[in-house]
A and B are shown apart, each in its own frame.
Chain A
Amino acid sequence: MNIALFVQKKEGICINNQKELFILPNNRILYIRPEAIEKINHYRQIRWTDTEAGGILIGRVLMEDGNYIVDDVTEPMPTDKRSRTRFSRKQEGHQEYFNDVWKRENGRCFYLGEWHTHPESVPVPSSIDRKDWSRLLNLGYETGCLFFIILGIDELKVWYGTEDKIIELKRRN
């Protein structure tokens, strides 16, 4: 019983500290809403059998300050290919999900990037990851930049890509 209490408490502290606010080089902010974080967290590769997962980031570019907010993400779809160390996301399902949100929000939403998981404590992007990120950036999405989230077993990290470079973002504070 004591252990259960301890675990619960520890979790509470974790959630409070886990302010998913990241600062961009131009001083803008990326905020990942708790609803989106919660969806991603389901796919943390804790067990040996857990396979990689991923999806797209959907969100807003704020009118008042140009900051970015990830409101929602898609989750692995039936046609996506998942293994312990690979994730191959197809267009199918993700595009339809995005279109529904886009319609519901009257076009006030953007494709903001990608997320996926890694079965390692602190995630490091593989060469396949980096190659794919550059390819996506070259497609020229409307925001002019994209975010790439990798959720490791212990840490979530975010990379920010523009046409000329990709950098890892620091948390605010």
Chain B
Amino acid sequence: MALCKKQFQDFHDTIKLKEENEVLSSKRDIIVKRIKDKLPEEAAYSFDIFNQGSYAMHTGIKPLGSDYDIDVGLYFDMSKDDVDPLTAKNWIYKALDGHTSDVKIKNPCVTVTYAEGYHVDVTVYAANNSDGKVYLAKGKPNGKVEDKKWDESNPKDLITEIREHLPDKDDRRQFRRIVRYLKRWKDVKFSSVNGKPTGIALTSCVYHWLDIQKETDTFTGKTTYKDLEALINVVSKIISNFQQEYVEIDGEYKFMPRLKVRLPVEPKPELLETMTYKQMKTFKEKLETLLEALEDAKAKADPTDAAELLKKQFGDDFPVPEKSTTGKKAMAAAVISSSESASEKG
């Protein structure tokens, strides 16, 4: 019964990343300028800059604490056949080394971390290839040889695919809200960095499995979007997509659950393959707890009771309304009459 429409609305307003973090976007501009100025001479290719990441996909949320990040993609006008991926990443590393005390080559990017805790990820692409595809430079200096490679990746397609998912603009808004709720749930419920599903993996789950939940009043023609129902819908579907796999865990064979979800654009990589079976099991258990709470909340008649359950899942930014604020305002205080009652048969 409870919809908690107003509470979900306010929660969404609170967690939505409405604009890029101002400090970080200025840092990005400084970093891009520095790359342009200091790029080594052997990097004789021009490049375009674009902003990738969830902000560009319109699914960004504010991080808990100061864990802001910003993603910059560099599209180099070169072929993957002409340059080694790690060499290309080294150009960027050399240009940025010393900018802060913490500049690192990570597997998918070069990361500049600031003392305040936030960071900028710079990603390098080879964008002029004979097959017309775009490739991402992967690998780090001391990493495995097989990880040093050009990987087909189409971040611009991904951004377009996610940003323009669903033709109806209000349906699309519900899709984005559900993504944001689940991303915040993830940040609240997974404390360690390891073993948590990525934001893009959750986004892809919602992309593939959400059935939009809305209701149109036959009299007024007014459409109401039911986000609580939509969450129940998508979380049940995610849970039912787990498959049991028979694997060896700690020297013992047993069935363990595993979820697979693919990126919506080519080459559609599987996004959860780095999670271990134990992490998968925890992930599934957390989803089941979430589903139970969502269904309990729905069964509550009083939105305040429902919101208290939801707050335990989505964290302190989920508002619990004072009981009185959920009620309509009376025009005047009622004049109480006297009243006669009896149980004797009159």
Q: Which residues of A contact B (CB under 8 A)?
A: 21, 29, 31, 33, 52, 54, 56, 59-65, 67, 69, 71, 85-91, 94-95, 98-99, 102, 104-111, 114, 116, 118-120, 123, 126-129, 132, 135-136, 139, 141-142
Is B46's CB within 8 Å of the partner chain A?
Answer: no
How many angstroms from the CA of A142 to the CA of B332 in the assembled complex?
8
Give, as a whole number of angstroms, the nearest-CB distance from B62 to chain A: 26
Is B345's CB within 8 Å of the partner chain A?
Answer: yes
Using known A-B contacts A71-B323, A98-B334, A110-B334, determine if residue A65 contacts B1 with beta carbons closer than 8 Å.
yes
16 other contacts beyond A62-B303, A110-B328, with CB at 8 A cut-off? A52-B343, A56-B336, A62-B328, A64-B2, A69-B302, A87-B341, A88-B338, A91-B336, A95-B335, A108-B325, A110-B327, A110-B330, A114-B339, A126-B346, A132-B341, A139-B337
How many angstroms from the CA of A139 to the CA of B336 in the assembled complex?
10
Q: Mark B1-22, 1 if CB is under 8 A from A, else 0.
A: 1111110000000000000000
In contact, A29 and B343 (Cβ under 8 angstroms): no
- In the complex, which residue of chain B has the Cβ closest to the Cβ of A110? B330
Give, as a whole number of angstroms, the nearest-CB distance from A29 to chain B: 6
> What total of chain B residues lie within 8 Å of the partner, measured CB to CB?
33
Find residues 30-73 in chain B having any chain A CB closer than 8 Å to their own CB: none
Q: A108's contact among B302, B327, B334, B336, by CB below 8 Å, is which?
A: B327
Using known A-B contacts A88-B338, A136-B339, determine if residue A98 contacts B333 with beta carbons closer than 8 Å.
yes
How many angstroms from the CA of A91 to the CA of B335 in the assembled complex?
9
The residues of A that contact B276 with a CB separation of less than 8 Å are none
In contact, B333 and A86 (Cβ under 8 angstroms): no
- In the complex, which residue of chain A has the Cβ closest to the Cβ of B325? A108
How many angstroms from the CA of A120 to the CA of B345 in the assembled complex?
12
The residues of B that contact A104 with a CB separation of less than 8 Å are 324
The residues of B that contact A141 with a CB separation of less than 8 Å are 334
How many angstroms from the CA of A24 to the CA of B257 in the assembled complex?
44
Using known A-B contacts A91-B338, A102-B333, A128-B341, determine if residue A60 contacts B326 with beta carbons closer than 8 Å.
yes
Using known A-B contacts A31-B301, A33-B302, A95-B336, determine if residue A60 contacts B328 with beta carbons closer than 8 Å.
yes
Is B329's CB within 8 Å of the partner chain A?
Answer: yes
In contact, B302 and A107 (Cβ under 8 angstroms): no
Q: Can you report 7 residue pairs joining A to B where beta carbons are below 8 Å apart?
A: A64-B3, A86-B341, A87-B341, A91-B338, A108-B327, A109-B327, A135-B337
The residues of B that contact A142 with a CB separation of less than 8 Å are 330-332, 334
Q: Mark B310-334, 1 if CB is under 8 A from A, else 0.
A: 0000000000000111111111111
- Most B CB atoms within 10 A — which of A64, A98, A141? A64
Interface class of chain B by DSSP: loop
- Most A CB atoms within 10 A — which of B338, B340, B341? B341
The residues of A that contact B3 with a CB separation of less than 8 Å are 64-65
The residues of A that contact B325 with a CB separation of less than 8 Å are 108
- In the complex, which residue of chain B has the Cβ closest to the Cβ of A113? B339
How many angstroms from the CA of A107 to the CA of B330 in the assembled complex?
5
The residues of B that contact A69 with a CB separation of less than 8 Å are 301-302, 327
In contact, A126 and B342 (Cβ under 8 angstroms): yes
How many angstroms from the CA of A129 to the CA of B326 in the assembled complex?
32
Q: Mark B291-306, 1 if CB is under 8 A from A, else 0.
A: 0000000000111000
How many angstroms from the CA of A37 to the CA of B333 in the assembled complex?
23
How many angstroms from the CA of A114 to the CA of B238 in the assembled complex?
47
Q: Mark B225-255, 1 if CB is under 8 A from A, else 0.
A: 0000000000000000000000000000000
In contact, B302 and A31 (Cβ under 8 angstroms): yes
Using known A-B contacts A71-B323, A108-B324, A108-B327, determine if residue A98 contacts B346 with beta carbons closer than 8 Å.
no
Give, as a whole number of angstroms, the nearest-CB distance from A66 to chain B: 8
Give, as a whole number of angstroms, the nearest-CB distance from A40 to chain B: 14
The residues of A that contact B342 with a CB separation of less than 8 Å are 52, 85-87, 126, 128-129
The residues of B that contact A128 with a CB separation of less than 8 Å are 340-342, 344, 346
The residues of B that contact A90 with a CB separation of less than 8 Å are 338
The residues of B that contact A85 with a CB separation of less than 8 Å are 342-344
In contact, A105 and B301 (Cβ under 8 angstroms): no
Give, as a whole number of angstroms, the nearest-CB distance from A108 to chain B: 4
Give, as a whole number of angstroms, the nearest-CB distance from B304 to chain A: 9
In contact, B344 and A126 (Cβ under 8 angstroms): yes
The residues of A that contact B344 with a CB separation of less than 8 Å are 85-86, 126, 128
In contact, A136 and B341 (Cβ under 8 angstroms): no
